[in-house]
Amino acid sequence: MTQETGGFAAFNLNPNILAAVIATGYEEPSAIQHQSIPIIMAGHDMIGQAQTGTGKTAAFALPILHRIDPAKREPQALILAPTRELALQVATAFETYAKQMPGVTVVAVYGGAPMGPQLKAIRNGAQIVVATPGRLCDHLRRDEKVLSTVNHLVLDEADEMLKLGFMDDLEVIFKALPPTRQTVLFSATLPQSIRAIAERHLRDPQHVKIQTKTQTVTAIEQAHLLVHADQKTSAVLSLLEVEDFDALIMFVRTKQATLDLASALEAKGYKAAALNGDIAQNQRERVIESLKDGRLDIVVATDVAARGLDVPRITHVFNVDMPYDPESYVHRIGRTGRAGREGRALLLVTPRERRMLQVIERVTGQKVAEVRLPDAQAVLDARIKKLTNSLSPLVADAESTHGDLLDRLTADIGCTPRALAAALLRKATNAQALTLAAIEKERPLVPNNAPRGDRPERTGDRPDRGDRERRAPVPLAEGRARCRTALGARDGIAAKNLLGAILNEGGLAREAIGRIQVRDSFSLVELPEDGLERLLTKLKDTRVAGKQLKLRRYRED
Ligand code: AMP
């Protein structure tokens, strides 16, 4: 166990929960977790003021799991969430933290899916029920006793539930629960309507609020980019093309993310390394020294690992994962703009984290402007500028040293100096895309694809029954085919595992493999159309994370 996990160990959570938290890669509790976990573990009612991105889900999920009795096969905890999307997210979080608790099951109850299997899962003894209020009320109409054993209730994003018109449903649900239950309410804001609920339905609640004091940030130019979580790596790679940086630090939340991102950067030729709480002190010092003297240009770190890091060369900070609170944001971006120099800080924001961005803007008293991903033209301009910069110092005396050789080669080959220079350029640039068309082809992201929000439109429709947001399909590059495997994140698969397996066993070059998308229950990989059947046969018996890969061509119609 690393020193940092001591932070979670101090809560005295059930050892199986602690083990799962450590396996997830969390290094230390966030501020809201520090404050809420002991209160909920002790059985108190609580009002927590926190938004998405603060780690609030674990702040209630860990102590609730601690308090349930896995031996009892009946609903013991009910989590209410405003949307199907959030309900699924919370249910997945519970499953992750309960991974090492045999016998604990979680059921997600939401509209748009058949009711029968949901009710069956509840009756079969799921201890944790995560539900949207509308659908839960439908269940209550069929079986009013279904919640009678629940002794922990969590209202997640209570203000959103009220905004979406769930007030009446909430009252029905309160009535169906034992009055002796523990109630925990999380809300980003505490308007009068929420206070009134707390007044009526919570008993002597303790209040938890992350204190935010105004912070000043000077000499640092800040910007944010809206992006889906699974597009962060490609967004980072696009941004790096056009940002003129000297040294750069990227912040992510988990140890695994430091490793994944650092290896993605290395694969693209950047001098990058990971810094996390598992890395021994002497190795950590070597990484920092290397960043100082230019042997490294990018460090991908967790907050814990970056403590005390002071490297004047750092011109840029990328917040790839959202910090837990504004103080930590200010602290992170303070790594740049040292010694009176100018610095630049970029924050990646997923649709659900927009509110956290507003909090950061409020606390720092500064607007964090929105930027878009660079388009193909900007990438081309940046690549040509870099090439110009690297070649122009060489031109000065090259003619005197290599001019005669050039004359001889053009004569021997029988080509013009322009043809030979072009051939040398192709070699020197390593077949890098240097035309608009070629860049457009290699880009995995549609430029300027700010994602739409993931909340339902407030049209008065039942919010948890609408269609799930569909993402714009990612266009497939010419000559590539999309393949699918049934292995996904829930099988412990990351993109690099798939990449490694296909590279090793398929004998392909890295460039031959396109975008890899890992979803929860499946993954998609772009492979060359040419020779695909042969490749799939070759990979027939390949195993990843102990499971058969079984890659098949995927057709999206
Ligand atoms: P939430 O605010 O609950 O939506 O959590 C935001 C993200 O932070 C989720 O992806 C969590 O997995 C992650 N997270 C929560 N707590 C921690 C922690 N202590 N260390 C690292 N990541 C965390």
Confidence of residue 187 (pLDDT cuts 50, 70, 90): very high
Residue-wise pLDDT tens digits, 40-54: 999 999 999 987 778
pTM of the model: 0.58
Indicate whether 12 and 139 sit together in one domain.
yes
| Best residue for ligand 1 mutational test, from 30, 64, 89, 228 (most atoms within 8 Å of Cβ) | 30
Q: Note whether residue 459 is domain-resident.
A: no
The pLDDT, as a whole number, for residue 311 is 86
- Express as a percent the part of the chain with pLDDT over 70: 90
Q: Are residues 351 and 384 in the same domain?
A: no
Q: How far apart are CA 479 and CA 501, in angstroms?
A: 21
Q: Write the DSSP string, 153-187.
A: EEETTHHHHHHTT-HHHHHHHHHTS-TTSEEEEEE
**Is 335 inside a domain boundary?**
yes
Residue 457, in any domain of the structure: no
Answer yes or no: do 116 and 177 share one domain.
yes
| Summary mean pLDDT of the chain | 87
Q: How far is the CA of 410 from the centre of ligand 1 (A)?
A: 62
* Domain tally, the chain: 4
- Residue 17 Cα to ligand 1 midpoint, Å, equals 15
Please state the φ and ψ torsions of residue 382, each to the nearest 5 degrees.
-65, -40
Question: Whose alpha carbon is nearest atom 15 of ligand 1?
Answer: 55
Helix axes 15-24, 56-67, angle to 10 degrees: 150
For residue 29, give the ligand 1 atom closest to its CA.
19
Same domain (yes/no): 179, 242: no
- Residue 229 sits at the vertex; the CA angle it makes with 259 and 480, to the nearest 5 degrees, is 85
Domain stop point among 190, 209, 228: 209
Q: How far is the CA of 401 from the centre of ligand 1 (A)?
A: 59
Average pLDDT over residues 291-306: 92
Question: Cα dist. 488→90, 153, 538, 556 in Å?
Answer: 18, 31, 21, 18
Residue 314 counted as domain residue: yes
Of all protein residues, whose CA lies closest to atom 5 belonging to ligand 1? Answer: 55
Q: How far apart are the CA of 53 and the centre of ligand 1, in A?
A: 7
Among 371, 390, 412, identify where a domain stops: 371
What CATH number corresponds to the domain at position 515? 3.30.70.330
Residues 176 and 61 in one domain: yes
How many Å lie between the centroid of ligand 1 and the Cα of residue 399?
Answer: 58
Residues 367 and 381 in one domain: no
Does residue 32 sit within a domain? yes
Nearest ligand 1 atom to the CA of 28 is 19
Q: Is residue 328 part of a domain?
A: yes
Q: Do residues 266 and 306 both lie within one domain?
A: yes
How many Cβ atoms are within 10 Å of 129's Cβ, its own excluded? 27
Q: What's the per-residue H, E or C state across 237-285?
A: HHHHHHCCCCEEEEECCCHHHHHHHHHHHHHCCCCEEEECCCCCHHHHH
Which residues does a 6 A CB cutoff place in the pocket of ligand 1? 26, 29-30, 33, 52-58, 253-254
Give the residue carrying structure tokens 């008065």.
460
Outline where 29-83 has alpha helix (H). 31-41, 56-67
Q: Which residue has the higher pLDDT, 184 or 546?
A: 184
Predicted pLDDT at 556:
59
Whether residue 363 is found in the same domain as residue 302? yes
CATH of the domain at 74: 3.40.50.300
- Assess whether 120 and 43 both reside in one domain: yes
Q: How far is CA 393 from CA 388, 390, 404, 467, in A?
A: 9, 7, 20, 58
Q: Which domain holds residue 302?
A: 220-371
Question: Which pLDDT band holds residue 340 (cuts at 50, 70, 90)?
Answer: low
The helix-helix angle for 417-428 and 376-413 (nearest 10°) equals: 130
Residue-wise pLDDT for 481-498, tens only, equals 888 888 887 777 888 888
CA 154 to chain centre: 24
Contact 177, 137 (CB under 8 A): no
pLDDT score recorded for residue 2: 43
452 part of a folded domain: no
- 548 near 541, Cβ under 8 Å? yes
Residues 6+ apart with CB under 8 A from 290: 273, 296
**Domain stop point among 337, 353, 371:** 371
Give pLDDT tens digits for 70-111.
999 999 999 999 988 899 999 999 999 999 999 999 999 998
pLDDT given for residue 413 in this prediction: 96
Residue 260: which residues within 8 A CB-CB, separation 6 or more? 233, 494, 495, 496
- Listing DSSP states for 361-403 in one string gives HHHHTS--EE-----HHHHHHHHHHHHHHHHHHHHHHHHHHHH
305 and 393 share one domain = no
Distances from the Cα of 533 to the Cαs of 331, 336, 515, 551, in angstroms? 52, 50, 19, 11
Task: Report whether pLDDT(459) > 80.
Answer: no
502 and 534 both lie in a single domain? yes
Q: Are residues 364 and 387 in the same domain?
A: no
What pLDDT shows up at residue 328? 87
Cβ neighbourhood burial of 22 (10 Å; 0-12, 13-18, 19+): middle
- Distance CA(554)–CA(557), nearest Å, equals 9
Measured torsion, CA atoms of residues 177, 180, 182, 185, in degrees rounded to the nearest 10: 60
Pocket test for ligand 1, best of 57, 92, 251, 520 (most atoms within 8 A of CB): 57
Expressed in angstroms and rounded, the spacing between residue 284 Cα and the centre of ligand 1 is 24
| Backbone φ and ψ of 375, nearest 5° | -85, 175
Atom of ligand 1 nearest to the CA of 27: 20
CB atoms under 10 Å from CB of 81, counted, come to: 28
Q: Is residue 224 in some structural domain?
A: yes
Query: Residue 93 Cα, ligand 1 centroid: separation in angstroms?
Result: 9
- Ligand 1 centroid – CA 90 distance (Å): 11
Q: Is residue 437 exposed (0-12), middle (13-18) or buried (19+ Cβ within 10 Å)?
A: exposed
> Which ligand 1 atom is the nearest neighbour of the CA of 53?
2
